[in-house]
Structure 1
Amino acid sequence: MSTKLVADARTAVADIADGSSLAVGGFGLCGIPSGLIAALAAQGTAGLEVFSNNCGVDDWGLGILLSAGRIRRVTASYVGENKEFARQYLSGELEVELTPQGTLAERLRAGGAGIPAFYTPAGVGTPVAEGGLPWRYSSDGSISVQSPAKETREFDGRTYVLERAINADFALVHAEIGDTEGNLVFNKTAMNFNPLAAMAGRITVAEVETLVQPGELDPAQVHLPGVFVQRVVHVGPVEKRIEKRTVAL
């Protein structure tokens, strides 16, 4: 029987070259592919374009790659927990495309479904549709690259904006359970962006905490079918950090 299992995270990301685009799963620090990110950081790959809900924090998740200067462009919906991200963006070192969270999710899903673009009401009447959002600053604080205006169209008396799908060279995701054929089960909030990122990658690499054999998963419980996954890495239990503590000890 065929298997998509690879030996380790280092082997799984070995062919991610400089300048590659990555769709990365996770929500905040929940469900991030920390093992794959660490392997990519150790490998030294640079010039990356990243599509993700956020960019981690200063010392964890995608923040590791960011702090090392490995990311050149980010498309995200929330970036408020990373001081180094803000510094690089405002100093002109990093290009950033901010997009509404639901729009980002649908752009990833559309990429995986083979839909090149779609219309949405989100962002109509704002710079999201009209253009002018600063994507990159110059070192003197002026805007060197700004977002273009997007096509709009009216349907049944309401205006919608055209958004393009996302397809990435690679996708990196984390699953609680996976089998050797790439069928995945995600845990709670990790369902938010991991399945969508996995769909958008031309080559999708999944790190899994618990590895099972084909047939051990109930098909009705599979969140993402193996057709979207090309490589599986068994990482075992992983460190799970809390992004913000909201209760007193």
Structure 2
Amino acid sequence: MTPQSTTPTQTAAKRHQRITCFLGLSAVVPLTTLLSILTLAFATDASASYRNFTDRGTVTTFSALRPDAQNGGLEIALYPLYLDLGPVDLRVAGASLSLALALSIGLLCIFVHRRSKALLLAAWQRYLVFLALTTGWVLSLAAFVSCAVRHFQSGTFEPGYRSPSTNLETYGPGGKYDGAKFDLGSWTCQLSAYGAFQDNRDVVSRQCTDATAAFWLGLALVLLDMAMAGLVWMDWRGQRVLFRNYRALKDEYEMDYI
């Protein structure tokens, strides 16, 4: 099969589309790789900081609040009774998936660039590549949505709260706030923003920054994964930066594998 004859206008349009696709991949792939690494760094740092500070949840650290009209000078455990670490783990999973997809497409781009010729793939092979990218984007989106739902469903820290389980004397059993369920980001950000909280503010503030950065970078990665899948779709539809469906030589055959 040979390329169909085209008019000069169609040729110019295809050349413009190829340039657009090439520039798009050149920007999206490195950016996705960079943001994936940053997301992994922030999320793993937040998780590791929590586990190190609590000895994997076995040690409870207390902070004496500066007395005010609401807290009455109570002590509070650094972490609540109901703490959901799932969103942080989801961000690690989503960023790892985005990084794997970006590296795969990046290596494919390098391979094609060194050959100076788009890969000749059968239809099922092109379907397989696009299916892998689409599946990766859907999983990344699902991880972010799950993380976002759990984050925005987190409760609100109320300094005046007293736990019924302790006869309204403390924030909860062992001083652990039991008034609501929180993810790591929502709890640490609310606690560090409370003016009466003093001890270990630097640790809690760092975890807040890490968790918040990982969350919003996760949204950026979802959009970049979608853009990367869209660019590969454009290429599949005929821009021929990475893939093509015609033979440049008479004896050329489709690749047996990708």
TM-score normalised per structure 2 = 0.23
* Relative contact order, higher structure (CA 8 A, sep 6+): 2
TM-score normalised per structure 1 = 0.24
